[in-house]
């Protein structure tokens, strides 16, 4: 769950540090006070795409840090383990820095990460539902995801999509083979000849380097022997060799040491040099004893290198790349040989389709069961939201095999009794859509594994007794769940409805003020008396009367 949020120099926030509790928290404030700033800042910390202009006027950067308790969040801890990121067993810190020039940096537990990684992890921590989320429910892709998630079918749906891809690839290969059979036969014949030649050469990158080195040595064999003997003569064999001259210097220095001990340092250095020369001389002796001219081996090397060069030139590759070319040619041959065997390719395609149908049929059965339960539960919630007689259905229409299964999924709704259910995108007005969307979220949230949910003014267009029901539903979402994994659930709601605000277990208020000719926004946690005043303001507007305060007290007490 979300434990705390720190914001620095963000839009009209100078410095803000907020702690959050388990359960149902409401966030209120006058229009324009900056209630959405909290959501915007948290969204950035969770990996949302950043835009320019979020830094406070006159500041170089804005910083947002969010701390989460993840002791019970198995998915988040698994993600961190797979990403090889160290993490305290109970705490996770996400941080985002937004610079005035548009650049941004992201961090997880102090380690620099990509924004994509931050977003991927953030999706396991918080779900944010805004007014735009209502509109996303009008999309069939979202509706399919909601149904599959409600029915516990998400993993099976992924298997169906994966198997469809396998079948589709084989299907396209077979169609391509049928269309290009003659061209493939010619290509296979050419590949067989060329692969046979490459296999005969069979040169590896390592062998190519070794061949070149050996050829260089043998082709310069006479020069190596002559040069080696000359070096040995100058070093130790000649009358004026370096060794003889150094030994003479050594004797003279040793005699001088009797008169000045400081010269000892020079003799020691010279002793070391003589030892190195002796080692060099012995090496040259050993090398010259082994050195020999081998014209027969040199001729073989010439022939081998020439054949490799010819093959490389023919295939337009470097000599060291001939092995890779052989492997690629062999792989392409295997593919074309499969294509040539129409029966084998068709058999594989049929097997892939049968496997797909097995998974897809199982998914269809699960969707039928989930659709009935989802329709019944959402219809029940609609009655509570003053959509009396309203009905929610999930229509499953058969379709040809696709990556999404064997049926098209569409949410259907009838706003009241006696009306034929129509697609959600056509049947619901703005206010109805808000209520139906909330009903969907309430029912499906029980299946969600995300511990923190944030609703950003999803109660727009709702009022009266319905508003109180909405508040009760949101409070229900924030209540402890039977599943240990969800026992620490949080629901944070940004609302303009006093009926919703009065039902919060915790209350935050956003206010805006002018400080040093700068408009700044702050958020404070309200105590019992302050809550009465805030709910009264939401009820009565600018002028708050004793009657309004009494009404607020009654709402909070209830």
Q: DSSP per residue over 521-553, as a string?
A: EEEEE--HHHHHHHHHHHHHTTSPPHHHHHHHH
Q: Inter-axis angle of helices 140-150 and 430-445, to 10 degrees?
A: 30
Q: What is the pLDDT of residue 485?
A: 46
What is residue 234's DSSP assignment? I
**pLDDT tens over the chain, length 558 residues:** 899 999 998 888 888 888 888 889 999 887 766 677 888 888 899 988 877 778 888 888 999 999 998 888 888 888 888 888 876 668 899 999 999 888 889 999 888 999 999 998 988 888 887 765 556 778 888 899 889 989 999 999 999 999 999 999 999 888 877 776 667 777 777 788 788 877 777 777 677 777 777 777 776 666 766 777 778 778 887 777 888 888 888 888 888 888 888 888 888 888 888 888 888 888 887 777 776 766 777 777 777 778 888 888 888 888 877 878 888 888 888 877 766 666 777 888 999 999 999 999 999 999 999 999 999 999 988 888 878 888 999 999 999 999 999 999 999 988 777 788 888 877 656 667 777 877 887 788 766 667 888 887 666 667 777 788 888 888 887 776 555 444 567 889 888 889 889 998 999 998 887 777 677 888 889 999 999 999 998 887 667 888 888 998 998 987
Rounded distance between C-alpha atoms, residue 384 and residue 395, angstroms: 23
Strand order in the sheet with 405-414: 391-402, 405-414, 422-423
261: which 2 tokens?
A: 């001990």
Task: Report in angstroms the alpha-carbon separations of 34 from 6, 106, 487.
Answer: 16, 24, 31
Q: H or E segment at 183? A: helix 181-201
> Among 478, 378, 434, 385, which residue's Cα sits nearest to residue 127?
478
533: which 2 tokens?
A: 């005043």
Task: Report in angstroms the alpha-carbon separations of 264 from 247, 267, 277.
Answer: 15, 5, 20
Rounded distance between C-alpha atoms, residue 532 and residue 550, angstroms: 8
Q: Inter-axis angle of helices 221-232 and 205-219, to 10 degrees?
A: 60
What is residue 515's DSSP assignment? E
Pairing of strands 506-515, 23-29: parallel
Rounded distance between C-alpha atoms, residue 256 and residue 162, angstroms: 89
Task: Report in angstroms the alpha-carbon separations of 128 from 42, 204, 241, 494.
Answer: 10, 57, 87, 11
Helix (H, G, I), strand (E, B) or coil at 195: helix
41: which 2 tokens?
A: 């800042």
Number of C-alpha atoms within 13 angstroms, CB side, residue 485? 12
């Amino acid at each position: 769950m979300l434990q705390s949020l720190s914001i620095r120099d963000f839009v009209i926030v100078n410095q803000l540090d907020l702690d959050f509790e388990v359960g149902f928290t409401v966030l209120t404030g006058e229009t324009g006070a900056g209630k959405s700033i909290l959501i915007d800042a948290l969204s950035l910390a969770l990996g949302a795409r950043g835009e320019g202009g979020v830094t406070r006027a006159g500041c170089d950067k804005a910083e947002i840090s969010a701390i989460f308790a993840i002791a019970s969040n198995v998915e988040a801890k698994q993600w961190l383990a797979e990403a090889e990121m160290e993490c305290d067993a109970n705490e996770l810190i996400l941080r985002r820095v937004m610079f005035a020039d548009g650049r941004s940096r992201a961090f997880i537990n102090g380690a620099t990460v990509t924004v994509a990684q931050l977003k991927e992890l953030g999706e396991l921590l918080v779900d944010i539902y805004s007014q735009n989320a209502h509109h996303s429910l009008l999309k069939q892709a979202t509706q399919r995801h909601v149904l599959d998630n409600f029915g516990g079918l998400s993993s099976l749906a992924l298997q169906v999509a994966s198997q469809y891809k396998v079948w589709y690839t084989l299907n396209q290969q077979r169609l391509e083979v049928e269309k290009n059979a003659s061209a493939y036969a010619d290509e296979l014949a050419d590949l067989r000849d060329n692969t046979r030649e490459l296999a005969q050469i069979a040169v590896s990158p390592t062998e190519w380097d070794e061949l070149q080195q050996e050829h260089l040595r043998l082709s310069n064999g006479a020069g190596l022997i002559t040069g080696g003997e000359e070096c040995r003569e100058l070093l130790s064999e000649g009358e004026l060799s370096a060794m003889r001259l150094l030994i003479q210097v050594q004797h003279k220095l040793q005699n001088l040491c009797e008169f000045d001990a400081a010269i000892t340092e020079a003799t020691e250095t010279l002793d070391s040099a003589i030892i190195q020369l002796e080692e060099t001389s012995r090496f040259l002796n050993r090398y010259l004893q082994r050195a020999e001219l081998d014209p027969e081996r040199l001729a073989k090397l010439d022939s081998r290198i020439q054949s490799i060069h010819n093959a490389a030139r023919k295939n337009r590759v470097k000599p060291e790349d001939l092995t890779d070319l052989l492997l690629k040619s062999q792989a392409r041959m295997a593919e074309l040989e499969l294509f040539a065997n129409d029966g084998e390719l068709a058999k594989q395609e049929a097997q892939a389709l049968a496997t797909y149908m097995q998974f897809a049929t199982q998914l269809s059965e699960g969707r039928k069961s989930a659709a009935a339960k989802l329709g019944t539960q959402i219809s029940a919630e609609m009655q509570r939201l003053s959509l009396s007689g309203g009905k929610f259905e999930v229509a499953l229409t058969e379709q040809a095999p696709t990556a999404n299964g064997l049926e098209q999924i569409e949410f259907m709704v009838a706003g009241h009794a006696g009306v034929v259910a129509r697609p959600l995108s056509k049947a619901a007005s703005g206010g109805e859509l808000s209520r139906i969307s909330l009903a969907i979220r309430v029912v499906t949230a029980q299946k969600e594994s995300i511990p923190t949910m944030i609703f950003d003014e999803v109660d727009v267009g709702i009022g009266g007794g319905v508003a109180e029901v909405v508040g009760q539903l949101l409070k229900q979402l924030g209540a402890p769940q039977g599943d240990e994994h969800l026992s620490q659930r949080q629901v944070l709601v940004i609302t303009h409805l006093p009926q919703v605000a009065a039902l919060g277990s915790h209350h935050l208020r956003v206010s805006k003020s002018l400080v040093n000719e700068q408009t700044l926004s702050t958020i404070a946690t309200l105590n019992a008396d302050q809550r009465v005043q805030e709910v009264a303001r939401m009820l009565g507007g600018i002028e708050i009367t004793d009657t309004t305060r009494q009404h607020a007290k009654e709402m909070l007490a209830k």
